[in-house]
Amino acid sequence: MESRHLNADGTPKYTNRLIGETSPYLRQHAHNPVDWHPWGEEAFQLARQLGRPVHLSIGYAACHWCHVLAAESFEDERTAELLNSRFVNIKVDREERPDVDRIYQIAQQMLTHGPGGWPLTMFLTDERRPFFGGTYFPPEPRHGLPGFRDLLERVARYYAEHREALAAQGEALVAAFQSIDPPPPEAGRVLDDGPLERARADLERVFDAREGGFGGAPKFPHPSSIERLLRHWRTTVRHDPPDLRALYMAGLTLRRMADGGIHDALGGGFYRYSVDERWRIPHFEKMLYDNAWLLAVYADAYVASADARYAEVARDTAEWMCREMQSEEGGFYSSLDADAAGHEGSFYVWDREEVRALLSAEEYAAFAPLYGLDQAPNFEGRWHLYVAREPDSLPGLLNEPAERLAGRLASAREKLLAARARRERPARDEKILTAWNGLAIAGLARAARALPCAGLGESASRALEFVRGALWREGRLLATSGGGRARLNAYLDDYVFLADAVLELQQLRLRPEELAFAVELMEVVLEHFSAAEGGFYFTADDHEPLLHRLRTFADEALPAGNAIAARVLLRLGYLLGEGRYLQAAERVVRAGWAPLEHHPQAHATLLNVLEELLEPPEIVILRGEPAAIESWQRELARLYAPQRMVLAAAADAPGLPPALAAKPARGAATAYLCRGSVCSEPIDSFAALAEALRA
């Protein structure tokens, strides 16, 4: 977003303190007429000196309504004058500061009893305590919302006249935060599979049996729910009958999303969510974390079902990530904007005649009916592509062989993708976030094991090398890197998503120094994030104090950090024979048991950990000649077994941890099958290993 305020020589008329930030989103506001401050004590000290309230605005680079608010109000000199004269103004990138964002999202919901979201607009005392807030406010009153300038006048006046009342309200709000903490774990509680069964029933209850997905519009992908259904089905494959309905719900959702407009039919990858219940019209921002998680789920679904469509979607999602989101140094960027050339979706939508002109008559004849160009426009008088009819119906419709039509469709997609690349592109947020890179590395590693797709493991390895080189400093992680500068203390998600990614990569190719790095990460988590009641706080014990130190267990747009921490600790504990890790993992589940019981569907990732506590994961150790053990490893990767880890180490591999070094090769290939803490005798044939796994 460029400032519209320029001097005669074309230079910006205004420059504020955001000019030196690493966040592209914050730098977008560096030339607003608003006197922005970054989050920090300096701004609150100024508010105390001036006796003013703090206006806190939280958003992110790919957020459409954040751009609207900026254009309408933060670029408006009248509004800026009011903000500068009556408030101290702080701008926060919610992706760099998820700690600040989470606190004030919860506070906004407590204060207004309304939903949160972005842009988030909060008004704080100089002690960082919120007293009023909302999301987007228009410049003039409309749709039941006050005009922003009118609101600012009222808030400033109220702050000046009611300081004592606001102080009391702040105390009450701090007390209210204490009430959202999970209750202490119940002593002697026996963990059982009750939450697993209730989650399965809850997902059935909200499942859209026609269009897939869970709930109505707007419709989000919910990869955690799909993953839970796949895992639930897998645990029942030996039942009579198996839970094929769970597999159907996961499969229909994956298929409808793949064919819908939420999936980029030309360039690959997924947009943030669909505004309609049929997945047709998306909100056009593309986020790294959505695509990383969905990549893993589609790859797993392909292994579970052998449906080639899932492999195709996983492949094009991975290719989009590596082509458009990976930096030359190896780290992955954060997002692509929803807007381009000043309009949402303009980079992605088409005029029908434009498509007709770009394609041959034969290509258009195949492409138009498949992607809905023979129907009415579906996005502001233009066409957003989605799979409008089954591809298998085209040969009969057009009286053409399927092979010939497939060639024409591939050629058409290539031509349109090339034409689209010449348009003004959406802005890319080029900050590199540790947590999101952990998700990307893990997704690529899982896809590399599932798909015959070269280069995915290499891309994942490059990203891990970047994070270790740029964001691991003196035994601690940093959260973000931008413009060659790494900064901000890392959060729980950064540590545990990265450790989980390392474990996923080890199942592709084992590197002892990376495994040791995962151990280092989890030791920091145990030392600096542990809660006395069990589980882990989102921030470290030496982090900046905020209104409350949050400890949450539910999945949101990202998997729950506590759940990923428990999964990593459980698997590392069994792999390395480390009892401390196993105990810490169980304490996470016990600490989250109350919310898990009450809302199991919202805690899908923690449910996966509960499943592995009740039935410990399988760990297959392969030793021997590289070619032989890699062949066994490839065969095992063809089986959907989410509670299994497979690690292959050459007979002469140096630096292995003792638990692996103690399992030597006895020939070209030797396997050891461990269930929990109990390992088998050496297994010297793949047939015998397969039989042991079936048992």
Q: Residue 3's pLDDT is what?
A: 75
Could you tell me where in the chain the CATH 3.40.30.10 domains are found? Answer: 17-179
Residue 5: its pLDDT value, please? 86
Residue 401: asked if its preceding bond is cis (omega within 30°), the reply is no
User: Residue 115 pLDDT more than 90?
Assistant: no
- List where CATH 1.10.10 sits in the chain: 348-422
With bands split at pLDDT 50, 70 and 90, how would you rate the model's confidence at 187?
Answer: confident
Predicted local confidence at residue 242, as pLDDT: 93
Would you state the CATH architecture of domain 348-422? Orthogonal Bundle (1.10)
Q: How far is CA 176 from CA 107, 148, 292, 543, 556, in A?
A: 9, 28, 35, 22, 21
Helix ranges (H only) for 135-280 are: 148-161, 163-179, 194-206, 223-235, 244-259
Mean model confidence pLDDT for the chain: 96
Average pLDDT over residues 142-148: 91
Q: Which amino acid is at 388?
A: A
The CATH H-level superfamily of 17-179 is Glutaredoxin (3.40.30.10)
Q: How confident is the model at residue 114 (pLDDT cuts 50, 70, 90)?
A: confident
Q: What percent of the chain has pLDDT over 70?
A: 100
Mean pLDDT of 66-84: 97
**Higher pLDDT among residues 496 and 167, named by residue:** 496
User: What fold characterizes domain 194-341+429-614?
Assistant: Glycosyltransferase (1.50.10)
**Quick one: pLDDT band at residue 452, thresholds 50, 70, 90?**
confident
Distances (CA, A) of 367 to 314, 364, 389, 413, 551: 22, 5, 11, 8, 50
Residue range 381-404: mean pLDDT, rounded = 95
pLDDT at 418 over 80: yes
Q: Which ranges of 13-162 would DSSP assign to H, the alpha helix?
A: 24-28, 41-50, 64-69, 77-86, 98-112, 148-161
Q: Taking the CA atoms of 514, 519, 521 and 522 in sequence, report the sign of the dihedral they define.
A: positive
Beta bridge partner(s), residue 90: 37, 56
Q: What is the pLDDT of residue 2?
A: 66
Cα dist. 484→21, 279, 459, 469 in Å? 12, 38, 20, 12
| pLDDT value at 239 more than 90 | no
Question: What are the tens digits of pLDDT across the range 1-22?
Answer: 667 788 888 788 999 999 999 9
The predicted pLDDT at position 1 comes to: 63
Which pLDDT does position 646 carry in this prediction? 98
Quote the pLDDT of residue 160: 95
542-557 pLDDT, tens digit each: 999 999 999 999 999 9
Which residue has 């702080």 as its token pair?
90
Of 221-225, 240-244, 596-600, the poorest mean pLDDT is in: 240-244
DSSP, collapsed to helix, strand or coil, labels residue 511 as: coil
Range with the poorest average pLDDT among 169-183, 250-264, 536-550: 169-183
- CB-based contacts of 583: which residues, under 8 Å, 6+ apart? none
| Phi, psi dihedral angles at 316 (to 5 degrees) | -75, -25
pLDDT of residue 232: 97
DSSP 288: H
Residue 379 has pLDDT above 80, yes or no: yes
Q: What is the pLDDT of residue 439?
A: 98
Model confidence over 621-647: pLDDT tens digits? Answer: 999 999 999 999 999 999 999 999 999
Give the contacts of 45 (CB within 8 A, at least 6 positions apart).
none
| Numbered ranges of CATH 1.50.10.10 in the chain | 194-341+429-614
What is the spatial distance between Cα 680 and Cα 691, in angstroms, rounded to a whole number? 13
SS3 content of the chain, % helix, strand, coil (to 5): 50, 15, 35
Asked whether residue 479 carries a pLDDT value surpassing 70, the answer given is: yes
Counting beta carbons within 10 angstroms of the beta carbon of residue 383, is it exposed (0 to 12), middle (13 to 18) or buried (19 or more)? buried
Q: What pLDDT is recorded for position 9?
A: 81
pLDDT tens profile 301-354: 999 999 999 999 999 999 999 999 999 999 999 999 999 988 999 999 999 999
Q: Which residue has the tokens 């997704």?
A: 443
| Helices 434-450/308-320 angle, 10° precision | 140
